[in-house]
Structure 1
Amino acid sequence: MDFESKYGNCPIYYTITKMDGKWKWLILYKLYKLNIIRYNKLRDELQPIAHRTLSNQLKELAEDGLIHREQYNEVPPKVEYSLTEKGKTLIPILELMSEWGRNSMKNN
């Protein structure tokens, strides 16, 4: 039995495949804390993230319906990102991750 057929119906496996990589959780957390953010501000907040990595992660999060990308037709181009209602359902998980990290850092 291959891995996909064994775990394809597992909700945890599904979540992990949608949220793979360390940056997606951080992107969602920044959007949660800052509400609406422009691309350059988000990149600055997430240094040392590479431009390509951030762009790819934002695209995947938007395709999965977790974030909203709003592009304004002006010069220079303006793009803003925010959480969708679906993305907001991850806030309790983000809060628990933050609490766990805060408590674990104290104990080290």
Structure 2
Amino acid sequence: MKGETEKTKNKYSKACPVLHALEIIGGKWRLPIIWEISGSKSIRYNELKRSIPGITNIMLTRSLQALEEHGLIKRTEYNKIPPHVEYSLTDDCNDLLPALAIINEWGKRVWPEYEAKNKTK
């Protein structure tokens, strides 16, 4: 049954650009990472980790690698003393920010309704 689910998932994600996009930016930490980096031109690893409560080093590293693989984040190494790495958004990711802002506004609008429904349960 799991194989069928994977085949169905792959079939729809290949046919639907929205599902494909959600596979890339989905996950618990990817959007918070994008959102934090968008607030600055570039950010160092430890600054990013401190700005996202609850994220572990492993999850931050894996999420950054995945976002870099998909061309949404640029990793720049500085071979100075001390050496350091900075992360910034690519042009493709900057193109995504207006859509995320719209989703953010939608979320703010429906959040009170969601909270009201859950308080009555």
Place the TM-score, normalised by the shorter chain, in its bin: 0.7 to 0.9
**Pairing 1:100–2:103 present:** no
Give SS of 2:26's match.
coil
Alignment partner for residue 37 of structure 1, among 18, 32, 43? 43
Q: Supply the RMSD in Å over aligned alpha carbons.
A: 1.7
- Alpha-carbon distance, 1:54 to partner: 0.4
Q: Which structure 2 residues correspond to residues 43-82 of structure 1 after superposition, within 5 A?
A: 43-82=49-88
Flag the structure with higher helix content. Answer: 2
Q: 1:7 to 1:64 in 2, by over 3 A?
A: closer
Letter in structure 2 aligned against 1:78? H
Percent identical: 33
Considering only CA atoms, is the larger Rg found in Structure 1 or Structure 2?
2
SS of the aligned residue for 1:81 comes to strand
Give 1:68 deviation, angstroms: 0.6
TM-score (normalised: structure 2): 0.79
5+ residue gaps, structure 1, are none
1 CA distance for matches of 2:105 and 2:84?
34
Residue ranges of structure 2 left out of the alignment (5+ in a row):
116-121
Secondary structure at 1:68 match in 2:
strand
Q: Among 34, 38, 60, which residue is 1:28 paired with?
A: 34
Q: TM-score, normalised by structure 1?
A: 0.88
Count, aligned residues: 108
